[in-house]
Chain A
Amino acid sequence: MKGGDAATAALPAPVPLTRRYPWLGGLSRFGGGMLFLWPSLVLFGGFVFYPLIKSVYLGFFVSDPFGHGQEFVGFDQYREVLTSPDFRKSLGVTVLFALYTVPTGMILGLVFALLANQRLRGALFFRTVFSSTIAASVAVAAVMWLMLLNPSAGFVNWILGQFDMPRVNWLTDPQWRETWDSGPALMAVSLTTIWLNIGFTTLVLLAALQNIPQDLYESARVDGASPWSLLRHITLPMLSPSLLFVVVVSTIIAFQSFGQIHILTRGGPLDATNVIVYSIYTDAFINFEYGAAAVRAVALFLLVLVLTLVQFRFLARRVFYR
């Protein structure tokens, strides 16, 4: 049709190549799609997929102190690092850190959101206050808490003093007592993290609360439901997707926390706050043991992957989707 000149009109209509070779059409559409995906694919390839594989590969080599001369040791380094006491310690610290921050943060966020969502005078003010910490970056939060946790002039110890409790060296005491495996340092880092994340949690849950249709409550109230059963049978089930989201995201955040530890404790005292990400940092960029650090990085990747999948599998069953 397009070739309307005399020469082609006289000949039989040309058969489109795609009719003779149908796969050409698919190839053509694939080319079109790839044109649009190309920028993203190149970047993902270079900065996500390649480094992931490279990390696994680096784990097979022991690095010299300068970080380049490498000796192939196969799985020996994986075995050595993953069974070493300091890896076990950092794994324990990481898990404990997640246990300190994730449930506390979620419960606090839920309480704040539920209360600030009620029809009260000043509710908007409280909503704004609770979500305000989302403006604080990790560094801002950590430096603020550095001041609050100052053993001699900090506000936290002053409050403790008002209740006749002894001062705590928040950032330098590795243990509360000999028997406890974790001490004030990890608690201090956790406090900072909970404060930092509370804005995000509250904001997500508030937005989710406002998305629950009001007629659900009205019809339940007509049926004589108590406030408690409204909460239990309407609010919480309707919130469950957002609660799942908060749990998954704050777990991932906990496993990736670095800035607050770098500013507050540098992994110390006595490795009490040496989470996996921090040990990757010290191994790779302070000690230049890229191989050992890569093993930890691979372990971190698998850990986060498994945790996310498990959370989705087990928690998702309890989640109510409209």
Chain B
Amino acid sequence: MTLRIRYGHVAQVALTYAVLILGALVVILPIYLAVVDSLLPKEDAISYPPKIFAPDPQFGNYKKAMDAVPLARYMFNSFAQSTIITIGQLFTATLAAYAFSFMLFPLRNFLFILFLSTLMVPWEASIIPNFQTVQMMGDPPTGLAVAIAVLVGVCVGAVVAALLAGVFRGGGTARWPIRALAVAVLVGALVGILAGVGAGRAALDGKILSLDSYQALTIPFLATAFGTFLLRQHFMTIPLELRDAAAIDGYGHLRFLWHVVLPLSKPALGTLAVFAFLQSWNQYLWPLLVTNSDTYRTVQIGLAGLASQEIDSINIVMAGTIIALLPMLIIIVLFQRQLVRGLMQGALKG
């Protein structure tokens, strides 16, 4: 009896290993063969039967790939794009998530649902108007007028919100006109600096947002409903008593956010950062549409270009592919914990 169970057990373990090894082979094979091909001489890479070893590795193929197209520049562009988007998303999502978890105000739930509803809109469904927007903004006279109008609108909105928030805080006593003036001057100055920078830029080359620019690659992605949701889930675990205690000590919202909430939320911020970076690095359709020069082309589009340009030299194309794969591989190995945590957040609460 025990013997039979042991045999059964051995058979089961053997079967498990067989499936695991087969699965692992299939999964790793494309990457392994790409590495092998990237090290083969040109003729061997297209020989039949396909080579599965590179006895005499040609590391020069990597140099050739870097020379065939400006891969280094593409990588830099992808890094710039992903970094800007990551920082932007951390900023906008932190503010929004804070408002949704620590502030009580009319329409809060409606606005939260409005945020979540953006998750239901596939980016591809709104890509035509977005492309037209970027195209129109890069067209100097109209674009400049629209850009200035939008900037002014955004600033006015911010000033009105700040006035409402600041003036009637704590009841709005007889001093409220003075306070209104102070808030208006302060926020006006801040916003004025921002608008000034924007207008200055516009005056220099006539555009704030245009095709073939880092702005076009990043601005549409600076806000994130997923990130807001992720951070809110975390902020909700911080006890409200902490906010009350901080308020008694005279902490305003911004000070509480900076000194208490953010230090307590490093893991969640890390998760969002890894996610944002990964997602922007992997973008394909939008960079394909809005970049048309090597100066701004991202590595994904550059790789596709390399593949069609060097169609006869598989070894060089594969070398380029490995170069494009490497940064993400490193990031994933380094930040696996954050990544898994983010996936779980989505899986358990999405």
Partner-B contacts on A (CB < 8 A): 2-3, 8, 14, 16-19, 24-44, 46-52, 54-55, 58, 108, 111-112, 115-116, 118, 120, 125-126, 129-130, 132-148, 150, 152-155, 158, 161, 195, 198-200, 203-204, 207-208, 211, 241-242, 245-246, 248-249, 252, 255-256, 258-259, 262-263, 277, 280-281, 284-285, 290, 293-294, 297-298, 300-301, 304-305, 308
Contact = CB atoms under 8 A, between A and B. Distances in A.
Contacts of A120: 13, 16-17, 20
28 contacts: A16-B173, A24-B172, A27-B106, A28-B165, A28-B168, A28-B172, A31-B164, A33-B108, A34-B157, A34-B161, A36-B99, A43-B92, A44-B223, A47-B219, A51-B133, A132-B28, A142-B304, A143-B318, A154-B50, A158-B48, A203-B340, A249-B346, A262-B304, A285-B289, A297-B125, A297-B127, A298-B125, A304-B122
Interface string B313-324: 010011011001
A305 to B, nearest CB: 6
Interface string B8-31: 000001001101100110011111
A315 B210 CA distance: 44
B228 interface: yes
Interface string B77-109: 000000000000001110110110001111110
Given A33-B103, A33-B105, A54-B129, A17 B173 contact: yes
A8 B169 CA distance: 20
Contacts of B115: 40, 44
A263 B308 CA distance: 9
A139 B164 contact: no
Given A43-B222, A55-B125, 17 more contacts: A16-B173, A19-B171, A29-B106, A31-B165, A33-B99, A35-B162, A37-B99, A58-B128, A115-B23, A125-B24, A134-B332, A135-B329, A136-B31, A142-B304, A285-B131, A285-B289, A308-B120
B164 A30 contact: yes
A312 B87 CA distance: 32
Given A27-B164, A129-B24, A143 B304 contact: yes
B348 to A, nearest CB: 6
Contacts, number: 342
A245 B348 CA distance: 8
Interface string B107-121: 110010011001011
A256 B284 CA distance: 11
B5 interface: no
